[in-house]
Structure 1
Amino acid sequence: MDQGVISQVFTPYTWRARIRPVLIAALPVALPVAVLIPDWPPARRVWALVLVCGLPLVLGQWCRSRGRRLEPGLFELWGGKPSVQLLRWRGPTGPAQLAFLHSRIEQIAGPPLRLPSAEEERADPEGADALYEVAGSVLRTRARALPGAELVAEENREYGFRRNTLALRPFALGAAAAGLLGVVVHAVLARPLSGPAGAAVSAGLVAADFLLLVFWIWTVRPVWVAEAAWTYARRLVETAELPNAESGPGSGAVSPA
């Protein structure tokens, strides 16, 4: 699928966070098929039929659903949603910076939202987290149309990609193992007939499928997702320091840090 078709059919988030994990999971099996059967005439017609039927969109929604089901367990493992942790008095943000962020978020949200003090948070941590979740929703909604916040969308796509990729890990490990086994068997059986060129192709396929298996075993883990989640959360919270979209240079709004 070329870039033009991608831009017409999928949004950047859907392509990167929902479709790409499925394609990477299927790659260990699809790669040898594409290489070993290069002249398969019906291939383009089959792919066109798949697109017309909307199968990539269905797979994207399935991938998203698995990622969303995985998310609560990840947040529990990390001690809470990263954007919530960044707004806690007991979290990683320094007291002076946190006081500024709370004040700025209350200014952005308006009078209905008042974030808790350190004492109030200690007295009711769950209630405080609920308010921090509201604050995060305010920032996410504001960031969608906020000039200078494009990096938030980029980091959100990266987080979605990693979360959904982790959700596909059990299936991908099976596909990677099957793909590696298949190319090894093919290399052994076809070696007497394929000659040096065929042997080089088979060796390349074995190496590629082995590296894909290593990727799914060693890279695709909760800590890999956490890295992207924290980066996204920091970029999101930083948007509180950006002036409102309707603010001018002389409005007194806070400038970017």
Structure 2
Amino acid sequence: MFKFFDAYSIRARLFPAIIAAAPAFAALTLLISWKSFELSNLIATLGTLVLLFAIADFSRVRGRAIEGKLYTEHGGMPSITMFRRNDKTIDAGSKDRYRSFLAGKLAMEVPSPLDESTNQTSADEFYGQCGNWLRQNTRDTKKFPILFTENITYGFRRNLLGVKMLALCLNVIVVAVCTFILWRLSWDVDTPQGSRITVVLLVAVAHAAYMLLAVSRTAVWDASKAYGRELILSCESFLAQSSSPAKKTTARKSASKTENVSPPSD
């Protein structure tokens, strides 16, 4: 199944779906007999796949909705706010070089400090276009592995937060079903079925603890800032590439001049 996904889809979309439905998957695995492949096993397998894809799609939609709210709460997208002159995440000298480079690529003028202070919205539009250019030109994951990793981390946390409530609701349903079965078994956990139910309940408890403690808006925002910072710093790679031809041209000119100089006569 994984061959139909790229690395980002697997780690940032599929994994959050698997984590969100972990107790349900544990219940299906442990409470259904897999000694022989019957109709119930086929239904459970198909149901698991459908549930997985549905949750992955839902997590992406909900994650994007949360993303917009986070940007509003924190004053904008990190790749925009970090370009502002009043933001100290990246040093001013580096940002000046990045602005000049990107302005050349976009055929636009860099907003001056006065422009930025009097019309932040207009300046942010320029920074937004800078971010768009960088995203479109840093898709080569081999050339920008750190940026790709930060993007995956951000996507994973964002999408997992998007399904947090759904995951907790599934958790409650699984616990309720397992508790009902245990009640029907007169709370006898020594039977094979009782032991399996106990394992499912333990998974549900660990799952709920993880979702409540580790999945948060703060974690998503931290990942968003890390990705935004790395996106802006990717300008260094383009600046290094643009300066290399100039150095080679200078070296060629120096070599040509040396060749054209006549050797001293004896």
State the TM-score bracket (shorter-chain normalisation): 0.7 to 0.9
Distance 1:74 1:207, change over 3 A: same
Query: C-alpha deviations, 1:15-59, integer Å up to 9, x for none?
Result: 2222222222111222122122242724663477569x9775554
Partner of 1:82: 78
Answering whether residue 247 of structure 2 is matched by residue 236 of structure 1, we say no
In the aligned structure 2, how far is the partner of 1:200 from the partner of 1:56? 26
**Is contact 1:82–1:230 with CA below 8 Å preserved after alignment?**
yes
In the aligned structure 1, how far is the partner of 2:238 from the partner of 2:68? 32
In the aligned structure 2, how far is the partner of 1:252 from the partner of 1:60? 49
Partner of 2:16: 21
Partner of 1:70: 66
TM-score, length of structure 1 as denominator length: 0.81
In the aligned structure 1, how far is the partner of 2:26 from the partner of 2:51? 19
Distance 1:188 1:239, change over 3 A: same
**Is contact 2:189–2:195 with CA below 8 Å preserved after alignment?**
no
Answering whether residue 105 of structure 2 is matched by residue 105 of structure 1, we say no
In the aligned structure 2, how far is the partner of 1:141 from the partner of 1:65? 22
**Is contact 1:115–1:132 with CA below 8 Å preserved after alignment?**
no
Q: How does 1:199-210 map to 2 (within 5 A)?
A: 201-210=196-205
Aligned residues: 245
Q: How does 1:42-191 map to 2 (within 5 A)?
A: 42=39, 45-46=42-43, 49=46, 57=53, 59-92=55-88, 93-107=90-104, 109-110=105-106, 112-145=107-140, 148-187=143-182, 189-190=184-185
Gapped runs of 5+ residues in structure 2? Answer: 249-266
Shift of 1:125: 0.6
Distance 1:24 1:243, change over 3 A: same
**Is contact 1:159–1:232 with CA below 8 Å preserved after alignment?**
yes
**Is contact 1:104–1:241 with CA below 8 Å preserved after alignment?**
no
Distance 1:97 1:56, change over 3 A: same
Instruction: Return the index of the structure with the highest Cα Rg.
Output: 2
Query: C-alpha deviations, 1:116-136, integer Å up to 9, x for none?
Result: 122211110111111111000
In the aligned structure 1, how far is the partner of 2:141 from the partner of 2:245? 18
**Is contact 2:31–2:193 with CA below 8 Å preserved after alignment?**
no
In the aligned structure 2, how far is the partner of 1:169 from the partner of 1:126? 33
Shift of 1:245: 9.7
Shift of 1:184: 4.1
TM-score, length of structure 2 as denominator length: 0.78
In the aligned structure 1, how far is the partner of 2:239 from the partner of 2:53? 35
Query: C-alpha deviations, 1:84-115, integer Å up to 9, x for none?
Result: 111111113332222122123234x25x1333
Name the SS of the counterpart of 1:170 in structure 2. helix
Distance 1:221 1:46, change over 3 A: same
Name the SS of the counterpart of 1:145 in structure 2. coil
Partner of 2:208: 213
**Is contact 1:191–1:199 with CA below 8 Å preserved after alignment?**
no
Shift of 1:69: 2.1
Code of the aligned partner of 2:42:
R
In the aligned structure 2, how far is the partner of 1:134 from the partner of 1:24? 35
Q: Identity rate of aligned residues, in percent? A: 23
Name the SS of the counterpart of 2:140 in structure 1. coil
Name the SS of the counterpart of 1:73 in structure 2. helix
In the aligned structure 2, how far is the partner of 1:49 from the partner of 1:196? 29
Gapped runs of 5+ residues in structure 1? Answer: none
